[in-house]
Amino acid sequence: MTSKFSTHIVEWYQLNLRDLPWRNTQNPYHIWLSEIILQQTRVAQGLPYYNKFVTHFPTVQDLAKAEEETVLKLWQGLGYYSRARNLLVAAKMVINNYNGIFPRTYSELIKLKGIGIYTASAVASFSNNEPVAVVDGNVYRVISRFLGIFTPINSTEGEKEFKKIAFSLLDTQNPATHNQAIMEFGALCCTPKKPNCLFCPLQKDCYSFRKNTIDQLPVKLKKTKITQKHFSYLILKNKKKEIFIHKRILKGIWQHLYEFPLVVNEKKTPVIEIVDAFEKLLEIKINLGELNLIHKTDKPHKLSHQHINAQFFEYVCNCDINRSDFIKIKIKDFENYPIPVLILNFINQHPLE
């Protein structure tokens, strides 16, 4: 079964593989960049980011010397910004702990910041042909459907079970190609919805195809409780075309990104209460009649743990802010700062003037 499974997958891969830049190299640094970028990201979206990072930082030494804001700005729009911050930390670890030579073995890769079992396996396999099985969402889906495994993939038991099975199916003589093949197969053929079962090379031996359980697998436990948030941003500017922004310091997905003054509520809140909150936050007086509502999102901005309903107000005054955590910049310079995609989308629809 093992050799047959791998043979079918690899044959399919050789006929259907996409020509992607990280597949044309064994450079562990470039492969690592691609793997970090593609976490929680589709290839079509991640490819331009990969090209940008390789262009700006062709070597790990270049990345290690970069400023965090530069890295975050290049990452802008990809989300899960801890990945970008970890990139920088890991690059510096390579310089300090490995004399600038990017590691290729699983045992050394797993020590780097932001690298887990999957990424360490992928980089070791693709750059060094190390016989370690790569298990990502695509692999979970292929294996669960093919063998009919109903153990939740995000449970401790499931993670151990699927890792063991993935190793048993691995072609240890050619692990890099095998791993690339099963991942690509899951991405293009055994897709989450409407898989191409008609032309699937595994169809004859696939449990889910025979038992009609394709839509039931893989099984995933629902753990994250989604909360609703209401964000109110204030674009506070003066007649010199300057605005006030601040850097998010608290831990979270937007840590170290810049934003307008913000008031967060658990539910819809009257404007007069929002204005009161802004006055306390900024220690200024706001004339309610001169406050303009520029934009309100039609649909919530969805994150993994919360859905955000946002609105953007504008207020023009000659006041100043005495808080040290806010900075005053020219409107035209705002584009140089890394910002959350929620604000980026707003600016694309309503350019600041």
Contacts for 27 with CB less than 8 Å, ≥ 6 apart: 102, 127
Cα(184)–Cα(16) distance, integer angstroms = 9
Cα(246)–Cα(234) distance, integer angstroms = 12
Cα(83)–Cα(104) distance, integer angstroms = 20
Among 203, 138, 135, 137, which residue's Cα sits nearest to residue 169?
A: 135
Among 332, 335, 323, which residue's Cα sits nearest to residue 237?
A: 332
Cα(75)–Cα(157) distance, integer angstroms = 34
Q: What angle do CA 246, 251, 256 make, to 5 degrees?
A: 35
Among 296, 285, 304, 320, which residue's Cα sits nearest to residue 233?
A: 296
Phi, psi of 348 (to 5 degrees): -65, -30
Q: Is 67 a catalytic residue?
A: no
Give the Cβ contact number of residue 14 at 10 Å.
10
Q: Kindly report whether the peptide bond that precedes residue 21 is cis, defined as omega within 30 degrees of 0.
A: no
Provide Rg for the chain, Cα atoms: 24
Phi, psi of 114 (to 5 degrees): 85, 0
> Which one of the listed residues 35, 130, 184, 314 is annotated catalytic?
35
Cα(45)–Cα(17) distance, integer angstroms = 18
At 93 the three-state DSSP class reads: helix
Q: Point out the residues that are catalytic.
A: 35
